[in-house]
């Protein structure tokens, strides 16, 4: 195990087996993880449609909000009548806890405790105070998921103080003999009646004294948490999970490890003190790296860590993997590449898929990939080859601490599996969204982006002037390749167009500098009326804009000639007799013959057919 903490911003831990990177974990100051922390929370909103509540908790500085499902609320927080309270509080009325159920980080989730069915809006009220633990960190726009069933992990056991008395064995322990031996050992130890203890996989082969020491440590820790709950006010932090160095030694250290080499004086002292408390006889394995060469470069770990950030992963036979993460799922494509040593295409596909199955499990573990994962294997015709690949994939995932459900290879060569998220993925921890492509990975071409800019100009055809900011590449294309189009728009819309170059914009993004407000959508009649008014105003303002040098007389327009003729006609005085109004001639209707009928039309023939 190699631990590096030379910079305060980041701590990295790797495990090497036979000069091969097996496990990697890191912790940064920019994104702090809160999973496992215990808070005193306050209920802010009860949502009946979701059967859940939103609670408020407080981290170091700011208030945050978490999601608390109804089945994660302990019945002692129910505000119900007294006759029902005694029944709910009785552990004998609780449903049995399935010890074979897959654990959440090797601790079983609690079942709904009461047989009587309640609704959250009836038993949980706003401003109610609870003790809750985060079981899933914030991800994107989703808040943290919380539960009131607290679980405190130790080296060999997990303490669940809010769950009724039960002895559980981790599902990872598959041998029946080991399970029976551990269960008998736990039953012989003194323990509280109202708590549950789960034996972890690290408890295999441990003595009674070692497990008892771990249980006593967890009980003392729970007593300290209860004392702090009584003195604190909600919302506040009650218990903070151990840092990365302590968690790594607690969860990943094994007795067959040769040494734990640490770079950094402060991290070395912290790890040595914790190992003295955990396994005093193994404190000598904690060593401080004093060589001038960096620790990870000495063991050639930096190259392996840089490769897990790349989407392409090479295979020994010449093939490669392509890993791409999306919002809904993670797609992994298996390609044969240069793999052509086998005689038949079926053998080549089978060998490449077997190598891909081993590497996929390793990459999923190193990159902390979770959720839905879809693998596109190379097509294999023989059924036994498909079954062999599925079996190898399941065997490699058997040692994973996360819950993994592996499907079958379908007729299209696709295999789907789901993996539990124990922590944020490597991509979420070390990357940010690209400001150019906004996470898409591609941007629009210059030609396409220039057409977008021209369509934006059409939207401002009612404005007097338009100042448009575009990226430098799009601006040069518009001014060089679309110069005539810009002149046509200026003449057609009577619009002054100015192009500005902005380095902060990427295609096809544009920014309208002037006018500041977008134009109102107008009908064609209004557009025609506005153009005519603008033309009249321009004609009336033309004499004012002429300079003194323009002395040549201009020909009067037709409208001006009509106005001059009306002014030249003599006006009518009141003494003059009024002119008689002209009588309109009425057009006589043509006489219709008796046999005249209206011409036949399809509609008339249709009516005749109906009436007949």
Pairing outcome for strands 236-239 and 38-47? antiparallel
The class of domain 310-430 in CATH terms is alpha beta
Report the pLDDT value the prediction gives residue 429, as an integer from 0 to 100.
78
Residue 165, phi then psi, degrees to nearest 5 = -55, 125
Per-residue pLDDT band at 138 (split at 50, 70, 90): confident
Which tops the pLDDT comparison, 173 or 558?
173
- Cα–Cα distances in Å, from 545 out to 491, 493, 516, 540, 554? 20, 21, 28, 10, 14
pLDDT tens digit sequence for 343-362: 788 888 899 999 999 999 99
Which CATH number does 38-240 carry? 2.40.50.140
Per-residue pLDDT band at 374 (split at 50, 70, 90): very high
For the chain, the structural domain boundaries read 2-29+246-298, 38-240, 310-430, 438-537
Of 201, 195, 229, residue with least CA distance to 215: 195
Lowest mean pLDDT among 83-97, 237-251, 484-498: 83-97
3 state DSSP class of 87: helix
Lowest mean pLDDT among 107-111, 247-251, 462-466, 600-604: 107-111
Report the pLDDT value the prediction gives residue 564, as an integer from 0 to 100.
60
- The answer to whether the beta carbons of residues 339 and 378 sit under 8 Å apart is no
Residue 491, phi then psi, degrees to nearest 5 = -75, -40
What's the whole-number mean pLDDT along residues 172-199? 84
pLDDT of 574 higher than 80: no
For residue 508, say if its preceding peptide bond is cis, omega within 30 degrees of 0.
yes
Of 30, 41, 46, residue with least CA distance to 66: 41
Question: In 3-state terms, the chain is what percent helix, strand and coil (to 5)?
Answer: 35, 20, 45
Q: Which residues pair with 27 in a beta bridge?
A: 11
pLDDT tens digit sequence for 415-471: 999 998 888 788 877 888 888 887 778 888 999 999 999 999 888 888 888 899 999
What's the whole-number mean pLDDT along residues 149-160? 89
Q: What is the mean pLDDT of the chain?
A: 80
Q: Which residues contact 473 (CB under 8 A, 6 or more apart)?
A: 446, 449, 507
For residue 235, say if its preceding peptide bond is cis, omega within 30 degrees of 0.
yes
pLDDT of 161 higher than 60: yes
Of 448, 442, 449, 494, residue with least CA distance to 469: 449
pLDDT tens digit sequence for 56-86: 998 777 788 999 999 999 988 888 766 665 5
Integer-rounded Cα Rg, in Å, for the chain is: 40
Extended strands (E) in 312-407? 312-314, 320-325, 330-335, 371-376, 404-406
Q: At the fourth CATH level, which superfamily is domain 438-537?
A: Ribonuclease E, catalytic domain (3.40.1260.20)
**Planar angle of CA 241, 242, 243, nearest 5 degrees:** 120
Of 43, 69, 40, residue with least CA distance to 55: 43
Length of the chain: 612
Report the pLDDT value the prediction gives residue 417, as an integer from 0 to 100.
93
């Amino acid at each position: 195990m190699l631990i590096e903490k030379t910079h305060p911003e980041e701590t990295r831990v790797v495990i090497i087996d036979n000069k091969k990177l097996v496990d990697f974990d890191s912790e940064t100051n920019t994104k702090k993880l809160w999973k496992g922390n215990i808070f005193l929370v306050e209920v802010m909103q009860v949502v009946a449609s979701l059967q859940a509540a939103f609670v408020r908790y407080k981290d170091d500085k700011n208030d945050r909000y978490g999601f608390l499902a109804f089945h994660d609320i302990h019945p002692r927080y129910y505000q119900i009548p007294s006759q029902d309270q005694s029944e709910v509080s009785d552990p004998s009325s609780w449903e049995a806890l399935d010890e074979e159920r897959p654990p959440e980080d090797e601790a079983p989730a609690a079942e709904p405790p009461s047989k009587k069915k309640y609704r959250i809006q009836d038993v949980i009220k706003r401003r109610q105070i609870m003790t809750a633990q985060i079981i899933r960190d914030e991800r994107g726009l989703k808040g943290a998921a919380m539960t009131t069933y607290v679980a405190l992990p130790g080296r060999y056991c997990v303490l669940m103080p809010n769950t009724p008395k039960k002895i559980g064995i981790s599902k990872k322990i598959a041998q029946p003999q080991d399970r029976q031996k551990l269960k008998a050992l736990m039953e012989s130890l003194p323990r509280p009646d109202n708590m549950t203890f789960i034996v972890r996989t690290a408890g295999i082969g441990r003595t009674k004294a070692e497990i008892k020491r771990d249980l006593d440590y967890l009980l003392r820790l729970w007593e300290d948490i209860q004392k702090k709950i009584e003195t604190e006010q909600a919302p506040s932090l009650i218990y903070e999970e151990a840092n990365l160095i302590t968690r790594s030694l607690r969860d990943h250290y094994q007795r067959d490890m040769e040494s734990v080499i640490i770079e950094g004086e402060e991290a070395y002292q912290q790890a040595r003190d914790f190992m003295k408390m955990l396994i005093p006889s193994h404190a000598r394995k904690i060593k401080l790296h004093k060589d001038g060469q960096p620790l990870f470069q000495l063991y050639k770990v930096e190259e392996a860590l840089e490769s897990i950030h790349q989407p392409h992963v090479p295979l020994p036979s010449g093939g490669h993997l392509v890993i791409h993460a999306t919002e809904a799922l993670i797609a992994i494509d298996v390609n044969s590449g240069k793999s052509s040593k086998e005689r038949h295409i079926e053998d080549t596909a089978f060998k490449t898929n077997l190598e891909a199955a081993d590497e996929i499990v390793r990459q999923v573990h190193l990159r902390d990939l979770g959720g839905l994962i879809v693998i596109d294997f190379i097509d294999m015709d023989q059924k036994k080859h498909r079954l062999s690949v599925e079996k190898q994939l399941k065997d490699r995932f058997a040692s994973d601490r996360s819950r993994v459900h592996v499907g079958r290879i379908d007729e299209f060569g696709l295999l789907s599996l789901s993996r539990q998220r124990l922590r944020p993925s490597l991509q979420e921890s070390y990357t940010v969204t690209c400001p150019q492509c906004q996470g898409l990975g591609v941007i629009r071409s210059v030609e396409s982006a220039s057409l977008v800019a021209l369509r934006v100009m059409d939207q401002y055809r009612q404005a007097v002037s338009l100042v448009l900011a575009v990226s430098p590449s799009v601006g040069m294309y518009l001014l060089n390749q679309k110069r005539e189009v810009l002149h046509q728009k200026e003449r057609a819309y009577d619009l002054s167009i100015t192009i500005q170059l902005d380095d902060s914009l990427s295609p096809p993004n544009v920014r309208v500098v002037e006018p500041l407000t977008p134009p109102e959508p107008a009908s064609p009649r209004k557009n025609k009326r506005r153009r005519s008014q603008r033309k009249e105003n321009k004609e009336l303002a033309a004499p004012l804009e002429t300079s003194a040098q323009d002395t040549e007389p201009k020909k009067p327009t037709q409208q001006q000639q009509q106005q001059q003729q009306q002014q030249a006609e003599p006006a009518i005085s009141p003494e003059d007799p009024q002119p008689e109004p002209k009588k309109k001639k009425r057009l006589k209707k043509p006489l219709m013959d008796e046999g005249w009928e209206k011409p036949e039309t399809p509609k008339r023939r249709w009516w005749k057919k109906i009436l007949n």
